[in-house]
Amino acid sequence: MNEDLGEPRDYLKLHFLVFVWGFTGALGELIQLPAVEIVLFRSAIASVVLGWIVRKTWRVPAKRALAMLATGCLIGAHWVLFFLAVKVANVSVCMVGIATVSLWTALLEPLMIRHRKLRRMDLIFGVCVIAAVAVIFQSELQYAGGFLIAITAAFAAAVFSILNGRFAATTPHRVISLYEMVGACGFCAACLPLSAFYLSEGRGLDLVPSASDFGWLLVLAVVCTVYAYSEYVSLLKRLSVFTINFANNLEPVYGMILGAILFGDYQTLGVGFYVGATAIAILVLAHTGWSRRKRLPIG
């Protein structure tokens, strides 16, 4: 998709979804399971719920099904890296690293989509976000490992978002989500040995969540995945991948607020973090206004 074709309500829905996704980092902090197990349960629960919702319309051509399952594996990798960054650093730092997704999208879309040209303004906005992230990074060097993991997760997010833009044109959004959640679940199941030996801090596999963990997992799977992720896929029919991913840069702002309220992150974050986060919020609002304005008739 080259241009945004959405109505004002699509932009409002997009920003509401970004607000919902802002809770995912906090949920990753609240859930005591390792990153791989969190995503395994998240995608498994979402697969069951989505399977019931689309039980009469889930069939698609085999080639497309395989492509969506493969994309689901990439989504699983993105989520594992995301929650790993939360565990290694904290909610706010992880979600700021994710903000680089807009630059990755601006660079990768012309390479992955035929006839998609590199838009100068997209690149400028993306570079400005990177500058804001750099301000934060320099002020929080103790979290460098978490930043780098989150930036890698952002790269994966840009790739699967572009791929989803192709599926959205031909397949119902909940069917896409079903196949991708099954793929993510399969990816995490294959990664369980890695989690047991390297990512669980010596606890081994942790496949029996506590009652509180299971409750938060249900929120993560049903609200942040079945609802929010499916609606995100549906918006790809009307809004460009870059616009959606750029709006996602507000996640750090919501994550920062939640991290401050729930976990006291503000006690360990310096002035540079807040300067960069404020700049990101301003850039997202400016890009939303620019995207809408260029579609309006002049005069």
Q: What is the DSSP letter of 202?
A: T
Contacts 24+ apart (CB under 8 A), 187-191: 187/72, 187/73, 187/76, 187/77, 188/36, 188/37, 188/39, 188/40, 188/43, 188/76, 188/80, 189/40, 191/36, 191/76, 191/80
Contacts of 181 (CB under 8 A, 6+ apart): 43, 44, 46, 47, 50, 72, 225
pLDDT, position 102: 75
**pLDDT means over runs of 10, the chain (299 residues):** 64 85 82 91 96 92 95 95 84 74 80 73 78 72 81 90 84 93 96 82 78 94 92 84 74 67 62 77 71 47
Structure-block tokens of residue 32:
């005591």
Residues in the chain: 299
Is the CB of residue 205 less than 8 Å from the CB of residue 192?
yes
Predicted confidence at residue 68, as pLDDT, reads: 95
* pLDDT given for residue 245 in this prediction: 73
pLDDT reported for residue 64? 93
Residue found by looking up tokens 């979290």 in the block: 143
* Strand, helix or coil for residue 251: helix
For the entire predicted model, the pTM comes to: 0.81
Amino acid 139: pLDDT: 64
Of the candidates 88, 99, 68, the one whose C-alpha atom is nearest the C-alpha of residue 251 is 99
pLDDT at 201: 66
Both tokens of 204, joined, read 């081994």
